[in-house]
């Protein structure tokens, strides 16, 4: 028996879908883990048990292993991406800081924009003290106006060495017209620091407009070490269990690429998980004969909405994530922080749900893992929307006694 497998790692659950060549299908859910890989391996174990195989027998019978992930997105939003330096044209050190008129409000909802506490919420993709200038200039026609200052570049290399960074982004003016200087700077960085992750703007975002190109390149560099390590560990773990095919990863625009490509261009999978949900709905809609759909993907942390028009998902040419402009095409997905694990609190006399989530551990109160704040899942259990016995495919039993007690404790007199 041969299998095709798809996995998606959410903030609360890791889902694994299996399609066997005899027509059988299975969907397994396992609690997500902090290291991500553990949740995937647990889901693999559940799938193997379902088909009465060992994990090694199951993995060695897989013909295709697809993966959707928000690991890069989470690293960016939680400021856990790699410490990154940026090398740019002399005189343009502050491009990321200045950004565009609305950079400090980018990605915020109308409600969040009205809250003064959100002003200045997003720092630049690379802090100013890690942005280094080098003398050079190329014009819009690709002509060299100022030759690359080799001595100045050597001094920049010394500063990079003392900065303690794990990645370097290189973004010079008009490199899309002539990438010669960027290539030489990148070669100098790699020669001096062979293990350093290096991202060049003419390769990552070959488009006119220095701010968006610089921002995209900086984010790509910051995600490089994180995503490379993550995908390498995933590949090693699965190959250790007998997987003989490469892992392919869903991109933000709905395609799939091999994990080794993503290691060089991690910015292309920022919206991998949400994009996969829209593509799945597209497939279901086509089977049912519906070409125009509003898609909804509810996870433990977020509520994602997409649109299918005339059988195709709506796209956007640019993303805004964590205040940074990302010059990459992506499926248009609107996201709010309201999922099954979203915590209900009373704030300033009003009931709010999300964006904070209980995650997988401790999780909602009804999980019985030490959670103390009521969530949307607890409310669904109290209202009878969920049953105690059949949650997560029957792999978990919910505590129907604890949820009502904590849900009643959220009253207008209690402030969070």
What CATH number does residue 49 fall under?
3.30.420.40
Which H or E run includes 189? helix 180-192
Q: Indicate if 88 and 196 belong to the same structural domain.
A: yes
Contacts of 288 (CB under 8 A, 6+ apart): none
Please check whether residue 281 lies inside any domain of the structure: no
- Average pLDDT over the chain reads 88
Report whether pLDDT(76) > 90.
no
Output the pLDDT for position 222.
96
Please check whether residue 65 lies inside any domain of the structure: yes
Please check whether residue 167 lies inside any domain of the structure: yes
Per-residue model confidence as pLDDT tens digits over 394-408 = 778 888 787 666 555
Q: What is the mean pLDDT of residues 343-348?
A: 84
Per-residue model confidence as pLDDT tens digits over 261-296 = 888 899 999 999 899 999 999 999 999 999 999 999
Please check whether residue 11 lies inside any domain of the structure: yes
- Place 113 in a pLDDT band, splitting at 50, 70 and 90: low
CA distances from 382 to 9, 13, 365, 374 (A): 27, 21, 11, 11
Output the pLDDT for position 405.
65
- Place 302 in a pLDDT band, splitting at 50, 70 and 90: confident
Q: Indicate if 191 and 89 belong to the same structural domain.
A: yes
Q: Indicate if 123 and 207 belong to the same structural domain.
A: yes
Q: At which residue do the structure tokens 């409000």 appear?
A: 105
Look at 374 and 114; give whichever has higher pLDDT.
Answer: 374
The total number of structural domains in the chain stands at 4
CA distance 109 to 317: 20
Q: Indicate if 257 and 301 belong to the same structural domain.
A: no
- Place 386 in a pLDDT band, splitting at 50, 70 and 90: confident
**Winning range, highest mean pLDDT, from 131-140, 226-235, 370-379:** 131-140
Contacts of 228 (CB under 8 A, 6+ apart): 197, 263, 266
Could you list the residue range(s) of the whole structural domain that residue 363 is in? 342-409
Report whether pLDDT(105) > 50.
yes
Q: Indicate if 346 and 330 belong to the same structural domain.
A: no
Please check whether residue 277 lies inside any domain of the structure: no
Report whether pLDDT(166) > 60.
yes
Output the pLDDT for position 311.
95
Output the pLDDT for position 411.
46
Per-residue model confidence as pLDDT tens digits over 236-269 = 999 999 999 999 999 999 999 998 888 889 999 9
Contacts of 119 (CB under 8 A, 6+ apart): 104, 105
Output the pLDDT for position 306.
95
Quick one: DSSP state of residue 375? B
Q: What is the mean pLDDT of residues 90-105?
A: 78
Q: What is the mean pLDDT of residues 136-165?
A: 97
Pairing between β-strand 167-171 and β-strand 197-200 as defined by DSSP bridges: parallel
Q: Indicate if 359 and 236 belong to the same structural domain.
A: no
Report whether pLDDT(307) > 90.
yes
The tokens describing 307, both together, are 């649109």
Output the pLDDT for position 415.
41
- Place 114 in a pLDDT band, splitting at 50, 70 and 90: low
Contacts of 394 (CB under 8 A, 6+ apart): none
Instruction: Report helix, strand and coil shares of the chain as percent, to nearest 5.
Output: 35, 25, 40
Please check whether residue 163 lies inside any domain of the structure: yes
Q: Indicate if 113 and 213 belong to the same structural domain.
A: yes
Q: Indicate if 147 and 54 belong to the same structural domain.
A: no
CA distances from 102 to 41, 113, 212, 323 (A): 42, 11, 13, 9
Report whether pLDDT(103) > 70.
no
Burial class (CB in 10 A: 0-12, 13-18, 19+), 17: middle
Please check whether residue 278 lies inside any domain of the structure: no
Please check whether residue 85 lies inside any domain of the structure: yes
Which of 321, 336, 351 delimits the end of a domain?
A: 336
Q: Indicate if 130 and 88 belong to the same structural domain.
A: yes
Report whether pLDDT(118) > 70.
no
- Place 33 in a pLDDT band, splitting at 50, 70 and 90: confident
Output the pLDDT for position 109.
64
Using a pLDDT cut of 90, give the percent of the chain over it.
Answer: 59
- Place 410 in a pLDDT band, splitting at 50, 70 and 90: low
Q: Indicate if 109 and 37 belong to the same structural domain.
A: no
Q: Indicate if 178 and 242 belong to the same structural domain.
A: no
Q: Indicate if 176 and 242 belong to the same structural domain.
A: no
Report whether pLDDT(319) > 90.
no
């Amino acid at each position: 028996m041969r299998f095709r497998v798809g996995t998606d790692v959410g903030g609360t659950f890791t889902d694994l879908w299996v399609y066997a060549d005899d027509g059988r299908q299975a969907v397994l859910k396992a609690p997500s883990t902090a290291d991500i890989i553990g949740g995937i391996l647990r889901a693999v174990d559940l799938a193997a048990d379902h088909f009465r195989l060992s994990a090694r027998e199951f993995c060695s019978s897989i013909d295709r292993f697809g993966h959707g992930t928000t690991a890069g997105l989470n690293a960016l939003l939680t400021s856990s991406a790699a410490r990154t330096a940026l090398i740019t044209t002399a005189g343009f050190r502050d491009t990321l800081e200045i950004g565009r008129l609305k950079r400090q409000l980018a990605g915020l909802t109308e409600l969040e924009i009205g809250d003064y506490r959100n002003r200045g919420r997003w720092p630049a993709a690379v802090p100013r003290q890690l942005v280094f200038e080098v003398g050079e200039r190329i014009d819009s026609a690709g002509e060299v106006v100022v030759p690359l200052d080799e001595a100045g570049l050597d001094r920049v290399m010394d500063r990079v060495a003392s900065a303690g960074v794990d990645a370097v982004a290189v973004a010079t003016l008009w490199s899309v017209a002539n990438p010669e200087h960027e290539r030489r700077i990148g070669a100098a960085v790699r020669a001096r620091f062979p293990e350093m992750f290096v991202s060049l703007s003419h390769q990552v975002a070959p488009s006119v407009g220095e701010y968006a190109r610089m921002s995209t390149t900086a984010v790509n560099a910051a995600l490089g070490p994180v995503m490379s390590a993550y995908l390498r560990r995933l590949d090693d773990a699965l190959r250790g269990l007998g997987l003989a095919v490469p892992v392919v990863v869903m991109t933000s625009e709905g395609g799939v690429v091999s994990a080794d490509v993503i290691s060089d261009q991690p910015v292309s999978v920022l919206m991998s998980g949400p994009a996969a949900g829209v593509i799945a709905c597209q497939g279901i809609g086509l089977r049912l004969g519906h070409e125009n759909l509003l898609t909804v993907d509810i996870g433990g942390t977020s509520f994602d909405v997409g649109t299918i028009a005339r059988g195709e998902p709506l796209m956007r040419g640019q993303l805004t994530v964590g205040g940074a402009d990302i010059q990459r095409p992506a499926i248009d997905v609107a996201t709010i922080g309201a999922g099954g694990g979203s915590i209900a609190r009373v704030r300033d006399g009003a009931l709010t749900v999300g964006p904070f989530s209980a995650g997988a551990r401790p999780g909602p109160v009804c999980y019985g893992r030490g959670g103390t704040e009521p969530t949307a899942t607890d409310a669904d259990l109290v209202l009878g929307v969920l049953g105690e016995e059949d949650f997560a495919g029957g792999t978990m039993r919910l505590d129907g006694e604890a949820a009502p007690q904590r849900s009643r404790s959220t009253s207008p007199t209690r402030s969070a």
